[in-house]
Amino acid sequence: MSESKPTLRWGIIGTGMISSWFIADLTIDRKDAKATHIIQAIGSSSVEKGKKFVEEHLPNPPQPPTIYGSYQEAYQDPNVDIIYIGTPHGFHKKNCLDAIEHGKNILCEKAFTLNAKEAREVFEAAKAKGVFIMEAMWTRFFPLVKTIQELVHKDKVIGNVVRVFADFAMDQRIESQAPEHRLRDLSLGAGSLLDIGIYSLTWGLIGLDSGIGEKATTPKICAAQTLVQGVDISTSVILLYPDGKQGIITSNSKVKTPNVFCRMEGTGGYIVVEGPAAAPENFTVYVDGDAEGRKYEFEKPGRGFYWEADAVALDIAAGKVESDVMPWAETVRVMEIMDEVRRQGGSKFPQD
């Protein structure tokens, strides 16, 4: 007899774009679903805003969510199993700590916090309370990523990795945004690094290191940033590993990345990954002597947020408080790297 799938009842905090994408994905009927997801509650700054959010992005829910005019009411809802935090980076620490105080499990959007110090504080609180918490680095849960990791680090199809290029750039028209917008307000974590550069960095780490979190190798870091009114619009990073491998990691909020956003080069070939860096759909492996290469394509309904949501449901059902794919130590490591990048580049947040 097959085991029944776990069910998670979600409380959604924040009614912006990322939250709308997340709930849309969780309502897709998938044959490969490993869990059942219910949008139980919406926490917004007002009931009216919450109602509009549901009308636009959850028009025919099998079970209408409870709409709250505050985040606290969602944290207090006994029918909510887990809180999804989709607010700007600068609010993540407080949102997480408040949800932890009420004993809720948490999936918090990337970047997890503004710096490593805040991340450690949140994880310490979660550990003391015994709740599950994970940074929503959804890309790491894509089957495409798992396949690349196996080909590169286990099968070594391109030999020993020598260097990885990874970029994420998009014209975000920062100058036209209001000063209080998340892309311009430094207290909210404004800048290309935390918003999109974290994806470039993640791809660099995926290609360069088979380890994760405490099992990962620590590279030296050389970084430069272009700042406009203190906000980084362009960041370039070199990761130098003890064995000589290098990662060239870039982000930019003025131009757009070409379709090929990542290139992993080894002693016996290379891999190019295409599509949006956050949610790619294919990559091609070129082994030395093979001009055409072998293309791997991964079709998916929606955007792909459900893979991380399924993984979270399975972890919670198994009694875990952190993920093996995106453990707390990996979140802290990435935040520490970005802290050092910002130190060298000169970008600072008031919370630093």
What tens digit of pLDDT does each residue of 274-329 get?
999 999 999 999 999 888 999 999 989 999 999 999 999 999 999 999 999 999 99
What tens digit of pLDDT does each residue of 324-352 get?
999 999 999 999 999 999 999 999 999 99
Q: DSSP character for 294?
A: E
Residues 6+ away with beta carbon under 8 Å from 15: 42, 44, 49, 50, 52, 53, 86
Q: What rounded mean pLDDT belongs to the chain?
A: 96
User: Can you read off the two tokens belonging to residue 333?
Assistant: 């490591």
Indicate whether 210 pLDDT > 80.
yes
Domains in the chain and their CATH numbers?
7-139+305-323 (3.40.50.720), 140-300+334-345 (3.30.360.10)
The pLDDT value given to residue 291:
87
Indicate whether 1 pLDDT > 80.
no
Indicate whether 2 pLDDT > 60.
no
Q: DSSP character for 88?
A: -
Least confident of 107-121, 133-147, 173-187, 227-241: 173-187
If you count DSSP H runs as helices and E runs as strands, how many of each does the chain have, helices first?
10, 14
What tens digit of pLDDT does each residue of 42-68 get?
999 999 999 999 999 998 888 899 999
* Band of residue 3 on the pLDDT scale cut at 50, 70, 90: low
Average pLDDT over residues 34-41: 98
Sheet of strand 7-13: strand arrangement: 66-68, 36-43, 7-13, 82-85, 105-109, 133-136
Indicate whether 245 pLDDT > 50.
yes
* Band of residue 213 on the pLDDT scale cut at 50, 70, 90: very high
- Own/partner long-range contacts of 141-146 (Cβ < 8 Å, ≥24 apart): 141/304, 141/307, 141/308, 141/311, 141/325, 141/326, 142/279, 142/280, 142/298, 142/304, 142/307, 143/298, 143/307, 144/280, 144/281, 144/282, 144/283, 144/296, 144/298, 145/206
The pLDDT value given to residue 254:
94
Tell me how far apart the alpha carbons of residues 106 and 85 are, in angstroms, rounded to a whole number.
7
Of residues 178 and 161, which shows the higher confidence score?
A: 161
Note the pTM of the prediction, 2 decimals.
0.96
Average pLDDT over residues 168-181: 90
Give percent of the chain above pLDDT 90: 94
